[in-house]
Chain A
Amino acid sequence: MSALVRSELLKIRTIRSWWAYLIVIVVFTGLAVAAQIGSADGIDRGTVDFQSDLVETAGIALLLAIILGITIVTTEFRFGTVTPTFLATPSRQLVIGAKAIAGVVVAAGFALLSLVVVAAVALPWLTIVDAETHLADSEIWTRAAQQILSSVLWALMGVAIGAVVQSQVAALVGTLVWIFLGETLLIGIFGLVDVDGAAAYLPFQALDAADGSGGGDLLSYGPGVAVSLVWVALLGIVGAARTHRRDVT
């Protein structure tokens, strides 16, 4: 299995889009942190609440994690590399499993990189403006850890979606439309038929709760993580079954 994961990690690193992921994370996280600090009041800047919100700008990594998760599965079908992949490893579940593990590793790395950028921008800036920094505060560290776990969950969701849909364009576009339109629409419908409570169990509402920022009608943190994992498992099972049955032509 470790050989397979190494192979999957090598696949990710040996195409140019790898650098695009890293550049997007660094640039967008940096801009988001700068905008947030720049627009805040002097007094707020020194609070734990403000600074843990800064940690949350590392959430840029989530979107890239799910795109990566979808792509590492669907790119094999798009370019036909799935043929040599399955010839080398006839057990297709093992291949999907190795991709999931590679996705977890890289997604955790994405979140870490994002957090490093947050620190690299925020710490000098806050020091210069004489705001007290709360690096030792447990809330900051909890939030950072939750960002990493959250990124991992989004990547796993991406791998599962990729295994179910298999067509790269359909999976990427479908997922983005679902996140930004589909769930909003469903939440509205749930409200109309008086089952508002069900909305929190939708996959991306659960994932939203699992980044620890809380709020609104979302589940609390623990249940949010649990429901996210259930969705990943359900889609993962369907995806593994579809991949197993598929004729690779």
Chain B
Amino acid sequence: MIEVANLSKRFGKTQAVRDLSFSVEPGTVTGFLGPNGAGKSTTLRSVLGLVHPDAGGATVLGVPYRELDRPVHRVGAVLEASEVHPGRSGRNHLRVLAAAAGLPRSRVEEVLALVELSAAAKRRVKGYSLGMRQRLGLATALLGDPEVLVLDEPANGLDPAGVRWLRDLLRSLAAEDRTILVSSHVLAEVAQTVDRVVIIHRGTLVQQASIAEVLAGAQGATRVRSPEASRLRGLLTAAGATVTDVGKGTLAVDRAPEKIGEIAAANGIVLHELTIERATLEEVFLELTGGETTQ
């Protein structure tokens, strides 16, 4: 369980995070979303005691991270896949951290197998692909078999098969009642994995809700196709709707299909198609964050 309360942090002239509050419930996968530069990494680093907030703060499992006893056994985190000495092998990277946490060597082999990196374990990290570094990062986070996982952009650099593998892994970890906070700047990447989302933009909270609520709240349009599109358009506009002609006799209307059907029937207009058009996840995301995503 993670609580962030009134967190603020400024780096020089940049206000990275401003009065941010949210909470992550146990046993859920929560997506921490925002465009690049929204303050996600600063927030996560503050949660993990790496960055000193100017105001406010965060607790993990009820206490500030730096006061946790044996933190590796409670919280697993990976912030950047590149935070490994390039000249050290993947296995030795894990052995170093296992030694510091008092974990046996056998645990290193277990997590290597879990992230399917055993074959490359004795190679130096210098030669790893970004996807392999991501797997090594995950292995690092899982070393202490922690109940809380904090992962910053873990899907970056993974191929589609890797993204799917990551999704299955996170779902199975969540099924074991762990708390998982996973950040991303691409909503679609985590949409099938997360239960809840926390969306931030320019260091402030935009929305904290379940993924279903986010989708329901999205403004959907209705698509209507008719041989008398221009007459229908006039009638709908007269009724106060906003209508966009999308060509070939098809209109996009910001009214429910029932309303459009009634108007068409009352005026004897034939309809060939009447469908609800759901906003895609990315559209919702762009709308919430002011259309400033970079990807």
Q: Which residue on chain B has the smallest CB distance to residue A95?
A: B100
Segment from B82-90, B232-240, B243-251, B282-290 that makes contact with A: B82-90
- Most B C-beta atoms less than 10 A away, residue of A17, A83, A88: A88
Find out whether the CB atom of B86 lies under 8 angstroms from the CB atom of A86: no
Find out whether the CB atom of A11 lies under 8 angstroms from the CB atom of B96: yes
Residues of chain B within 8 A (CB-CB) of A79 are: 83-86
Asked whether any CB of chain B lies closer than 8 Å to the CB of A138, the reply is no
Partner pick for A90 among B51, B65, B78, B86, CB 8 A cutoff:
B65
- Most A C-beta atoms less than 10 A away, residue of B41, B45, B51, B100: B100
Interface size on B, residues (CB 8 A): 37
Asked whether any CB of chain B lies closer than 8 Å to the CB of A85, the reply is yes
Q: Which residue on chain A has the smallest CB distance to residue B143?
A: A88
Contacts A83-B79, A87-B71, A91-B66; A7 near B42 (Cβ below 8 A): no
In whole angstroms, what is the CA distance A210 to B7 when docked? 50
Query: Which residues 76-106 of A sit at the B interface, judged by CB distance below 8 A?
Result: 79-81, 83-91
Partner pick for A88 among B51, B80, B101, CB 8 A cutoff:
B101
Fill in one digit per residue for B32-65: 1 if any A CB lies within 8 Å of its CB, else 0: 0000000001100100111110000000000001
Q: How far is the CB of A100 from chain B (nearest CB, A)?
A: 15
Asked whether any CB of chain A lies closer than 8 Å to the CB of B77, the reply is yes
Partner pick for B42 among A14, A85, A249, CB 8 A cutoff:
A249
Partner pick for A15 among B48, B77, B80, B85, CB 8 A cutoff:
B85
Asked whether any CB of chain B lies closer than 8 Å to the CB of A75, the reply is yes
Residues of chain A within 8 A (CB-CB) of B163 are: none
Asked whether any CB of chain B lies closer than 8 Å to the CB of A3, the reply is yes
Interface residues of chain A: helix, strand, loop or mixed (majority): helix
Asked whether any CB of chain B lies closer than 8 Å to the CB of A242, the reply is no
In whole angstroms, what is the CA distance A191 to B68 when docked? 54
Contacts A86-B50, A90-B68; A15 near B45 (Cβ below 8 A): no
Q: Which residue on chain A has the smallest CB distance to residue B94?
A: A84
Find out whether the CB atom of B50 lies under 8 angstroms from the CB atom of A3: no
Residues of chain B within 8 A (CB-CB) of A14 are: 88-89, 92, 95-96
Find out whether the CB atom of B85 lies under 8 angstroms from the CB atom of A75: yes
Find out whether the CB atom of B80 lies under 8 angstroms from the CB atom of A81: no
Q: Which residue on chain B has the smallest CB distance to residue A86?
A: B50
Q: How far is the CB of A79 from chain B (nearest CB, A)?
A: 5
Contacts A80-B80, A247-B51; A90 near B66 (Cβ below 8 A): yes
Find out whether the CB atom of B92 lies under 8 angstroms from the CB atom of A10: yes
Asked whether any CB of chain B lies closer than 8 Å to the CB of A4, the reply is yes
Asked whether any CB of chain A lies closer than 8 Å to the CB of B99, the reply is yes
Contacts A4-B100, A89-B100, A248-B45; A84 near B87 (Cβ below 8 A): no
Find out whether the CB atom of B68 lies under 8 angstroms from the CB atom of A7: no
Residues of chain B within 8 A (CB-CB) of A7 are: 96-97, 99-100
Asked whether any CB of chain A lies closer than 8 Å to the CB of B226, the reply is no
In whole angstroms, what is the CA distance A17 to B124 when docked? 14
Residues of chain A within 8 A (CB-CB) of B51 are: 247-249
Q: How far is the CB of A74 from chain B (nearest CB, A)?
A: 12
Asked whether any CB of chain A lies closer than 8 Å to the CB of B140, the reply is yes
Find out whether the CB atom of B83 lies under 8 angstroms from the CB atom of A84: yes
Q: Which residue on chain A has the smallest CB distance to residue B42?
A: A249
In whole angstroms, what is the CA distance A144 to B188 when docked? 66
Residues of chain A within 8 A (CB-CB) of B95 are: 10, 14
Asked whether any CB of chain A lies closer than 8 Å to the CB of B291, the reply is no
A-B contact pairs, 7 of them (CB 8 A): A3-B101, A83-B80, A84-B140, A85-B97, A85-B100, A247-B50, A249-B45
Beyond A14-B92, A81-B84, A83-B79, 12 additional contacts (C-beta under 8 Å) are A6-B99, A7-B99, A11-B85, A11-B96, A79-B83, A81-B83, A87-B71, A88-B71, A90-B67, A245-B52, A249-B41, A249-B45
Q: Nearest 9 pairs between A and B by C-beta?
A: A7-B100, A80-B83, A7-B99, A14-B92, A90-B66, A248-B50, A15-B87, A247-B51, A88-B100
